[in-house]
């Protein structure tokens, strides 16, 4: 049989291929990537030529991540300050990229994109997206309408964000503060099918209130 990569591409020639944290890849993987990026094809263990001409290859890397989490300007910043921060951060990241990856590899990449660090507004939007997903799920499963207040969203954004890990801790924060508490209330019979639930952050505590379904409306 062919290798995992070549076999997948042979069966699905129009593909998007993602190499996550590519800096951790084995040297053999880089050798294969060099061939793909240079020639547009590889030959598998069965001697079959597998074309990558219809694939898009995306590689992510944490190279230079420290430059992204380093403190920026304190207080209010102008658009010029933000541009300078980004340029300084990007230059630091690219220096690290050039240190980790060989020139012949970097030169075969069409474009390198350095993302901006997440802002507070970005984090709040991610929280809102996650909460909407939960609300849709609980609506479909138990016909429960769930609404989350602004202060609750702000609190989740605060406790669920880590400069080193970005938005990844948000999922755990939402599970602990929202999903687990909702499950406890449902098991206790305080929230029933068809109820409307509001979630607020009051007096340093996440408060879940359920508006019971009117029996006459059932």
Please write the tens of the pLDDT for every residue from 65-113.
776 666 554 444 455 677 888 888 899 999 999 999 999 999 999 999 9
Straight-line distance from the first to the last Cα atom of the chain, in angstroms, rounded to the nearest whole number? 60
For the entire predicted model, the pTM comes to 0.69
pLDDT above 90 covers a percentage of the chain that reads 67
Position 143 pLDDT exceeds 80:
yes
- Smallest CA-to-CA distance from 134 within 166, 96, 87, 181 is with 181
pLDDT of residue 34: 94
Pick the CATH number of 120-217 from 3.30.230.10, 3.60.70.12, 1.10.8.60, 3.90.700.10: 1.10.8.60
Q: Compute the CA torsion angle 61, 67, 70, 76 (nearest 10 deg).
A: -100
- Smallest CA-to-CA distance from 90 within 120, 121, 112, 60 is with 112
So where are the chain's domains? 4-59, 65-106, 120-217
Q: What's the alpha-carbon Rg for the chain, to the nearest Å?
A: 24
pLDDT of residue 218: 46
Q: Locate 183 and state its tokens.
A: 């499950």
Mean pLDDT of 31-45: 91
Distance CA 30, CA 33 (A): 5
């Amino acid at each position: 049989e062919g290798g995992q990569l070549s076999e997948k591409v042979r069966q699905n020639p129009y593909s998007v291929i993602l190499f996550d944290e590519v800096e951790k890849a084995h040297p053999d993987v880089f050798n294969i990537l060099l061939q793909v990026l240079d020639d547009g094809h590889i030959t598998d263990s069965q001697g079959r030529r597998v074309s990558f001409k219809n694939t898009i290859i995306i590689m992510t890397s944490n190279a230079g991540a420290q430059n992204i989490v380093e403190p920026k300007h304190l207080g209010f910043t102008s658009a010029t300050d933000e541009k300078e921060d980004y340029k300084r951060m990007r230059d630091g990241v690219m220096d690290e990229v050039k240190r980790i990856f060989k020139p012949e590899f970097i030169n075969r990449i069409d474009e390198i994109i350095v993302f901006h660090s997440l802002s507070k507004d970005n984090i709040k939007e991610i929280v809102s997206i996650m909460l909407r997903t939960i609300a849709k799920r609980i609506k479909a499963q138990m016909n429960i309408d769930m609404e989350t207040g602004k202060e609750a969203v702000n609190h989740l954004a605060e406790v669920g964000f880590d400069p080193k890990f970005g938005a990844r801790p948000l999922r755990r924060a939402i599970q602990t503060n929202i999903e687990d508490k909702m499950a406890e209330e449902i098991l206790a019979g305080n929230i029933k099918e068809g109820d409307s639930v509001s979630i607020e952050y009051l007096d340093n505590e996440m408060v879940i209130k359920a508006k019971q379904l009117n029996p006459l409306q059932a």
